[in-house]
Structure 1
Amino acid sequence: MTEDLGTPVLDNHLHLDPRHGRGVEAVEEFARLGGTHLLVVNKPSWLLGVEPDDPADFRAVFEETLETVAAATDVLPGRAWPVLGVHPGLISRLVDERGFSPAEARDLMRGGLAVASEYVADGDALALKSGRPHYDVSDAVWEASNAVTRRAFELGAEVDCAVQLHTEATEDLTDLAGVAEAVGLDPSKVVKHYAAGELAGVTPSVMSDKERLERAAEADEPFLMETDFIDDPDRPGMVLGPKTVPRRVRWLLEEGYDEAVRRAHVETPAAVYGIDTEATLEREA
C-alpha cells in the first residue's frame, strides 16, 4: 500500500545505481512511503567505470543516468528528472592519481560540463551539477575547481538551468553567488546540496535530519530537501536512505509546518528548476 501525504514529495539530490546498488527498488521504497518526485544526480564517473581522457567520455555516464531516470519515472506517482555534471572530486583523482596538471584537469572537467549542458539544451536533463572539493587541496587545485564552477554557471546561464553544487560545509556561499551573478545566472538557481538549515547567497538543499529541517522551516526562506542517497551496498548508512524525505515530510506536517512543506516541494522547485510537482503528480481518484 502506498501512503499519500497529500502533497508532492521531492528528494532533490540522490544517486541510483542499478548495476551495483538497489536501483529502482530504492525508488519503489521511496514511493511506498509517499515520495512522488526525484532529482537523480549521475554518480561520479569513476564509480561507473569511466576514467575520462576526453569530454566525450562522460557521455556514457550521462546516458546511463538517463536510462535510470526513465526506469524511476515508471514507478513514481510523479516523475524523476536527471541532473548531470562532473563531480568536483574528480580533480583530485586526475591530479593525484592520473598525472594531470590542475589546468589539464580543469579543462577536461569544463569540457564534461559542456557535454552535460547539451542534454539540458535538448530537454533530456533538468540541471547541471558542479562544485569544488569539500576537503583541503592545493591552491592550484582550488583555483582550477573554482574555474570549473564558474564554467558551470556560464553554461547554466546559456541553457537557462539551475546548477547544483557540491562544496565545503558552510552556511555562506555569497562568494559563489557573486560569481553566478557576474556571468548572468540568478544566484537563486544555484543550489548547494548537503546544506544545513540556513544558507546565505544561494538556495539550500537541506539534508533531511530533523534539526536542519526545523531550522529551514523556521527561517521562512526557500529550501529543498534531500537525502544524498548514494545507492552503494558497500557503504550502507553513509548518508540517508530513500525513505527519509517522505518520513520527514510526514513529521513536518505533524509539527504544523505545512507552509514549509509547500515551500520545499512545490514553490522552490518551481522557482529554481521551473518544474510543476503538482501538475506532474497523478493521483488515484
Structure 2
Amino acid sequence: MDDLGTPVLDDHLHLDPDHGRGIEAVKDFARSGGTHLLVVNKPSWLLGVEPETGEEFRPVFETTLDVVARADEILPGRAWPVLGVHPGLVSKLVDDRGFDPAEARDLMQAGLDLAAEYVADGDAVALKTGRPHYDTTDAVWEASNEVLRHGLALGAENDCAVQLHTEASEDLTEVAEWAEERGLDPHRVVKHYAGGRLAGPTPSVMSEKDRLEVAAERGDPFLMETDFVDDPDRPGAVMGPKTVPRRVRWMREVGYDDAIRNAHVETPEAVYGLDTEATLDR
C-alpha cells in the first residue's frame, strides 16, 4: 500500500456492490494511498428502485450502508455514507412515470426525510440533494428548488452538511443565502463536481489538475472528489478510484502541501466534523 503520509479523502464517489466493482474499487483506492471515503448512494433508478413513497428509498440507502461497512474494514481510515435523492429523479418521475412536478417534489422531499433519519441516528454524516444540471420547464425547476431548500432545512435541523448536485456554476451565492435563512452555515453546503473557484458553498473539486491548481492557488476551503460512478456499462465515466491519491502525489511534487492539508484535513473537519487524522490507523 502506498502511504502518502497524509489522510487522503475522496469527497464524493459511488459504490455498487451488486452491479459494479464495489469493494474492488475501494481496494484500488487504498492501494494507491487513499485513506477515507464519502460514499454517496447511487441514483435510485440505477439500483432498480422506483419509489412511490419516501419509505421506498430505504433499500437504496441500506445498500450504501452495507458497502460502507465493508469499505471500513479495508481502508486505513474510514468510509462514511452520504444519503439523499438525486435531483435527476424529478425528470424520471415527470417524463417517464407521469407525476406532475408538485407530486415529484413531495416524493423527493419524503425521500430526503428518510435520509435525514439516518443522519439523526448517526448512520450517515451528510445529506445529498440539488437541482437538475440541464434545461427543464419552469415548473420542474421551481419544484426542484423546493426540494433543494427542503434538504438545506433538514441539514440545519440535523446539524449536518449537505452535498449538492447542480448546474455548473462559479456563483451559488443564492443557494448559500437559502442555507443561511434556514440556519445552515453556507460553508457546510458542498457543491459536488465543482471547479476550483466558487462563490457561496464549499467546492468539492473534480480532481483534474487545472481545477486543482485554481483551488490550491486561491487558498479557500475545498475538497477533492472523483464522482466515480461504479457502472460497468460506463467504465470510463467520470474518474477512477485511484485518481485522488494520484493527484495528491502530484500536488506534493509541485509544492501544494498547504492545499493538501486544506482539502484532506481542515475542510473535512470544518464541513462534516470529521477528523481524518484521528481516524487514520497507521
Structure 1 residues not aligned, in runs of 5+: none
Cα displacement string for residues 177-219 of structure 1 (whole angstroms, at most 9, x for unaligned residues): 0100111110000000000011000100000000000000000
Secondary structure at the aligned position of 1:108 is classed as helix
Displacement after TM superposition at 1:238 (Å):
1.4
The reply to whether residue 241 of structure 1 matches residue 275 of structure 2 is no
Between the aligned partners of 1:205 and 1:220, the Cα distance in structure 2 is: 14
- Which residue of structure 2 aligns with residue 61 of structure 1? 60
TM-score by length of 1: 0.99
Displacement after TM superposition at 1:32 (Å):
0.3
Between the aligned partners of 1:244 and 1:124, the Cα distance in structure 2 is: 27
Between the aligned partners of 2:185 and 2:111, the Cα distance in structure 1 is: 22
Between the aligned partners of 1:237 and 1:218, the Cα distance in structure 2 is: 29
The reply to whether residue 255 of structure 1 matches residue 254 of structure 2 is yes
Secondary structure at the aligned position of 1:65 is classed as helix
Displacement after TM superposition at 1:62 (Å):
0.5
Displacement after TM superposition at 1:236 (Å):
1.4
Between the aligned partners of 2:227 and 2:123, the Cα distance in structure 1 is: 22
Secondary structure at the aligned position of 2:150 is classed as helix
Displacement after TM superposition at 1:237 (Å):
1.2
- 1:151-230 maps to which residues of 2 (within 5 A)? 151-230=150-229
- Which residue of structure 2 aligns with residue 30 of structure 1? 29
Between the aligned partners of 1:183 and 1:282, the Cα distance in structure 2 is: 37
TM-score by length of 2: 1.00
- Which residue of structure 2 aligns with residue 129 of structure 1? 128
Between the aligned partners of 2:197 and 2:260, the Cα distance in structure 1 is: 15
Q: Percent identity?
A: 75
Aligned length: 282
Displacement after TM superposition at 1:233 (Å):
1.0
- Which residue of structure 2 aligns with residue 94 of structure 1? 93
Between the aligned partners of 2:214 and 2:240, the Cα distance in structure 1 is: 21
Question: Which runs of at least 4 in structure 1 moved beyond 3 Å after TM superposition?
Answer: none
Secondary structure at the aligned position of 2:217 is classed as helix
Between the aligned partners of 2:249 and 2:212, the Cα distance in structure 1 is: 12
Secondary structure at the aligned position of 2:116 is classed as helix
Output the amino acid matched with 1:3. Answer: D
- Which residue of structure 2 aligns with residue 145 of structure 1? 144
What value does the CA root-mean-square deviation take over the aligned residues?
Answer: 0.4
Between the aligned partners of 1:26 and 1:49, the Cα distance in structure 2 is: 21
Structure 2 residues not aligned, in runs of 5+: none
Between the aligned partners of 1:169 and 1:223, the Cα distance in structure 2 is: 16
Cα displacement string for residues 15-49 of structure 1 (whole angstroms, at most 9, x for unaligned residues): 00011110000000000010000000000001111
Displacement after TM superposition at 1:164 (Å):
0.1
